[in-house]
Amino acid sequence: MRRMDGADVPLLPIVLAPDPVLKARARPVRDADAETVRALLPRMFATMYRAPGIGLAAPQVSVGLRVAVVDLMEGDKPAPIALINPQVAAASAELATREEGCLSLPGHYADVTRPARVKVRYLDVYGMGQEIEAEGLLAACLQHEIDHLDGVLFVDHLSALKRNMILRRMLKERRQKETA
């Protein structure tokens, strides 16, 4: 298998909101998808690192599979996690609010409240069942990426007013770039 950091693989174009592909629910990965997923993961990591970001879900690169990659790069040390068919198995009643952004909504950030701790079950690149317990930034990142697989963006956790302000601003910025 190629390097997970994707240093030698082509990048994928990141889909920007409000593209409808971001609102579609991704389908579970099946055994027949194994080769597709193995080829996709290095490209997803490369795209995420180059953006730069700390998480990327397959729908953000126009792939409708339940696949996400995460790497917080704590201490500038890579710690890539590839998640296939991830699901939140448990979430704390305690909530935490932190600022979130998204590669599909570049330059836009807002405070999002989510469970402070989660347990996530997923398959690794070899198809082996894994479980991760997370809190803090990793918990928020995992939930954010799993939301993408369900067609949910971080702005969907905001009030309609805040969400619409961000989406209108994005469209205005895009129109200005197109006419420049």
pLDDT string in tens for the chain (180-residue length): 334 544 578 999 999 998 999 999 999 999 999 999 999 999 999 999 999 999 999 999 999 999 999 999 988 899 999 999 999 999 999 999 999 999 999 999 999 999 999 999 999 999 999 999 999 999 999 999 999 999 999 999 999 999 999 999 998 988 888 887
Closest by Cα among 26, 143, 148 to 90: 143
> What's the confidence (pLDDT) of residue 59?
98
Q: Is the dihedral of CA 164, 170, 171, 172 positive or negative?
A: positive
- Per-residue burial over 128-145, b if 16 or more Cβ lie within 10 Å, else e, is eeeebebeeebbbbbbbb
> What's the confidence (pLDDT) of residue 1?
34
CA–CA dist 4, 8 (Å, integer): 10
> What's the confidence (pLDDT) of residue 8?
77
For the CA atoms of 158, 29, 16, 50, the dihedral, rounded to the nearest 10 degrees, stands at 110
> What's the confidence (pLDDT) of residue 7?
59
Q: Which domains does the chain have, with CATH numbers?
A: 20-179 (3.90.45.10)
| Residue 92: C-alpha distances to residues 89, 135, 139, 165 (Å) | 11, 10, 10, 30
- The pLDDT tens digits for 141-168 are 999 999 999 999 999 999 999 999 999 9
Query: Among all residues, which ones are annotated catalytic?
Result: 145
> What's the confidence (pLDDT) of residue 177?
85
